[in-house]
Amino acid sequence: MAPQQKGKQGTKGAKQIVEENKATLKFYRNMALGSTAAMVLLNLVFFGISKVTVLMGIIAVLILAGAVQFMVFMSRPKYSENGSILDSGNDLNMEGGIAENVKDLIILTSGTILLSLLSNYFWYLLLLAPLRGLWMLWGSVIQPWLSQRNAADQEPELDEKKQRKLERKMRRMR
């Protein structure tokens, strides 16, 4: 492990980003496959398969497949003809990036799949994903847009002292 440095964080090389992205993709792919396999096997062996389990299992598998494929698409590197890396793709381990939200979605869905083995009511946890998306949309797009529009509509109010000073300047200019 590298020693901790004070100050600015060092930059990663393209090769290091590609290797870390491969490891990250492998981890989250295995998480998705493992939770799905556990759900299918345990439901087949120990529990009965109901319509709710089948429908929500299909929805969960589609969410997981979409999220993993999106991460694969984001991190796809571009190579030159001689095999050197032209573009390493997006860094999946970057803090605050969109990949962080996709990884959270995979964790939420995998956890929901495993918890649904205890009770079908745990499927409601999947509603946290669109709620989080709406919360992020509100905080980063809608609310700043509304406050910006309201600030532009309002005229800056002058206090009495500044108003009198402005009136004196206008009288002098005449």
Sketch the domain layout of the chain as residue ranges: 14-128
Mean pLDDT of the chain: 82
Choice among 44-48, 54-58, 141-145, 154-158 with the minimum mean pLDDT:
154-158
**What is residue 37's predicted lDDT score, i.e. its pLDDT?**
93
DSSP string, 45-64: HTSPPPHHHHHHHHHHHHHH
Choice among 3-12, 64-73, 103-112 with the minimum mean pLDDT:
3-12
The burial class, CB within 10 Å (0-12 / 13-18 / 19+), for 106 is buried
C-alpha angle 124-116-26 in degrees, rounded to nearest 5? 100
Determine the Cα–Cα distance for residues 173 and 155; give it in Å rounded to an integer.
Answer: 24
Q: Check residues 131 and 12 and name the one with the higher pLDDT.
A: 131
Choice among 1-10, 105-114, 138-147, 156-165 with the minimum mean pLDDT:
1-10
**What is residue 172's predicted lDDT score, i.e. its pLDDT?**
83
User: Which pLDDT band holds residue 3 (cuts at 50, 70, 90)?
Assistant: very low
92 close to 75: Cβ distance less than 8 angstroms: yes
**What is residue 48's predicted lDDT score, i.e. its pLDDT?**
76
* Listed residue (99, 90, 105, 126) closest to 18, CA to CA: 90
* Listed residue (18, 128, 2) closest to 74, CA to CA: 18
pTM reported for the whole predicted model: 0.72
Q: What is the pLDDT of residues 99-125, one digit of tens each?
A: 888 889 999 999 999 998 888 889 899
pLDDT at 7 over 70: no
How far lies 111's CA from each of 28, 71, 72, 108, 115, in Å? 12, 19, 21, 5, 6
Q: Looking at the chain, how many residues does it have?
A: 174
